[in-house]
Amino acid sequence: METTTITDTQNLTTEEKILAAAEKEFMLKGYDGARTTAIAEAAGVTHAMLHYYFRTKDNLFDRIIESKIDMIRDIMLGSLDAPGMPLFDKITLAIGRHIDFIAANPGLPKFMINEIFSRPDRMPKVLDQLRSHAPVMLETLQDQIDDCARRGLCRKVDAVMLILDIVSLNIFPFMAAPMANPLLGGIMDDMTSFTEARKKENIETIMRKLQP
Amino acid sequence: METTTITDTQNLTTEEKILAAAEKEFMLKGYDGARTTAIAEAAGVTHAMLHYYFRTKDNLFDRIIESKIDMIRDIMLGSLDAPGMPLFDKITLAIGRHIDFIAANPGLPKFMINEIFSRPDRMPKVLDQLRSHAPVMLETLQDQIDDCARRGLCRKVDAVMLILDIVSLNIFPFMAAPMANPLLGGIMDDMTSFTEARKKENIETIMRKLQP
DNA sequence: ATAATGTTTAACAATATTGTTAGCGCGAAA
DNA sequence: TTTCGCGCTAACAATATTGTTAAACATTAT
């Protein structure tokens, strides 16, 4: 993976320490809830350094959200880098990788949806690179579905709805975990086993949806 | 429905005007992003009135979130108030009503998940009434599934996973609309037709999941 | 060694945001 | 009519939060 999360917190430059602390704070509290003083304190530097390196809270936030957009773009592109693979195998692989990614970045969907919702004006720039990739992905997928359907291997379904189904089934349970887990008898208490169970469940659900 | 949203904004008491404005502001911006001055201004009253009636921002927020919890409880209870109805019909009805509710309250899931995530300490009290209803709901559903399966009418699936599937498929597309719609070619531009399309799609998806 | 450049610190400034208080006006009760 | 309580207003207060600056300090180049 290209973008990594900092964990060692030692022998880093001041700029890197600020970025690492800012990522944690922004992901946890959002733009509005994040405090620049808290970021500086967590980074172990004076809060003036934050302004020295990034001038404003906005600039710092932009750096963080751009790195997150990069992660999402990588995942989007990675989910179709299996040329020539049969549709069912491709979807199975994509669901597995997607859920692994979400389990490794549990706060990311909430963060992105939230910040886009609360500041739609600022987002267009960073979302443009995602927008450029989406249409070809959808077209490629629809072509492969239609091809499968022509050969009687699967049902002819709408690619957009299928993608919506997959990302909904993959993301939402992790996103709603703090609210849903207590209501559902603590099914997510053991996160690793829940992750694997959800992979199987979602693959099954989508395969049944595709059956002729 | 018990809890309603204020729209007329005339001939209301000052307290009601503040509550109506606070609901809009909190739902749109969240607790951290909401400004009490903005609430007072939107309500057309002095911001001192806000403190006169509710003392603190926290108290006002609690009033709003408690009303939202009430709405969610009503929906949860409403989804099983069809005693004696066959499983498939019950699920079909529940999905339709659930999606109608979400379409009418598009910001609610994001709001709840967000506030619970960012202040887990404050939530337990209000969530307790939800927690008390969930187990019986799940047990009832599991019993009906098992009964259906015994008679060969459906597959034996886990009720918790089924509920997770349904709410994920129902909620997530509306929740992620600001981010997803541009990426998916504006499929949600006409919200009413998208709402109906999603109902059909999700009912079909779940029915196929239940098929023996 | 000295200058130049970049980094850090501590204190300050400016504004935003929430919360408080003294008093005014008006309607109801005495 | 007077008094009392309630809703209300305006100004103030306290703190939080972001942003700035001058000078100290460090590092490197000359």
The model's pTM: 0.92
- The topology (CATH level 3) of B8-55 is Arc Repressor Mutant, subunit A (1.10.10)
Domain borders along chain A are 9-55, 61-210
Domain B8-55 shares a fold with domain B63-210: no
> Taking a C-beta distance cutoff of 8 angstroms, is the pair A39, A21 a contact?
yes
pLDDT tens-place string over residues A38-73: 999 999 999 999 999 999 999 999 999 999 999 999
Q: Which H, E and C letters describe chain A, residue by residue? A: CCCCCCCCCCCCCHHHHHHHHHHHHHHHHHHHHCCHHHHHHHHCCCHHHHHHHHCCHHHHHHHHHHHHHHHHHHHHHHCCCCCCCCHHHHHHHHHHHHHHHHHHCCCHHHHHHHHHHHCCCCCHHHHHHHHHHHHHHHHHHHHHHHHHHHCCCCCCCCHHHHHHHHHHHHHHHHHCHHHHHHHCCCCCCCHHHHHHHHHHHHHHHHHHHHCC
Q: Hey, what CATH class is B63-210 in?
A: mainly alpha
CATH annotation of A9-55: 1.10.10.60
Report pLDDT for A133.
86
Report pLDDT for B3.
41
Q: Band of the pLDDT at B124, cuts 50, 70, 90?
A: low
For residues A183-201, give the mean pLDDT.
97
Nucleotide nearest to A44 (CA to C1'): C8
Q: How many CB pairs under 8 A join A and B?
A: 132
Q: What is the Cβ-side half-sphere exposure of residue A98, based on CA atoms within 13 angstroms?
A: 26
Contact assignment for A175 to B112 by CB distance below 8 Å:
no
**Which candidate from B138, B183, B187 shows the least CB-CB separation from A131?**
B183
pLDDT tens-place string over residues A109-120: 999 999 999 888
CATH annotation of A61-210: 1.10.357.10
**Which candidate from B30, B171, B179 shows the least CB-CB separation from A112?**
B179
Q: Is strand D in 7 Å reach of the CB of A34?
A: yes
Using a CB-CB cut-off of 8 Å, the residues of chain A touching B118 are: 28-30, 33
pLDDT tens-place string over residues A126-146: 778 788 889 999 999 999 999
pLDDT tens-place string over residues B9-53: 567 899 999 999 999 999 999 999 999 999 999 999 999 999 999
Residue A8 has pLDDT above 70, yes or no: no
For residues A184-201, give the mean pLDDT.
97
Phi, psi of B95 (to 5 degrees): -60, -45
Q: Is strand D in 7 Å reach of the CB of A55?
A: yes
Q: Band of the pLDDT at B132, cuts 50, 70, 90?
A: confident
For residues A62-86, give the mean pLDDT.
89
Q: Is strand C in 7 Å reach of the CB of B58?
A: yes
Q: How far is the CA of A27 from the C1' of D25 (A)?
A: 35
Q: Band of the pLDDT at B127, cuts 50, 70, 90?
A: confident
Q: How far is the CA of A138 from the C1' of C30 (A)?
A: 80
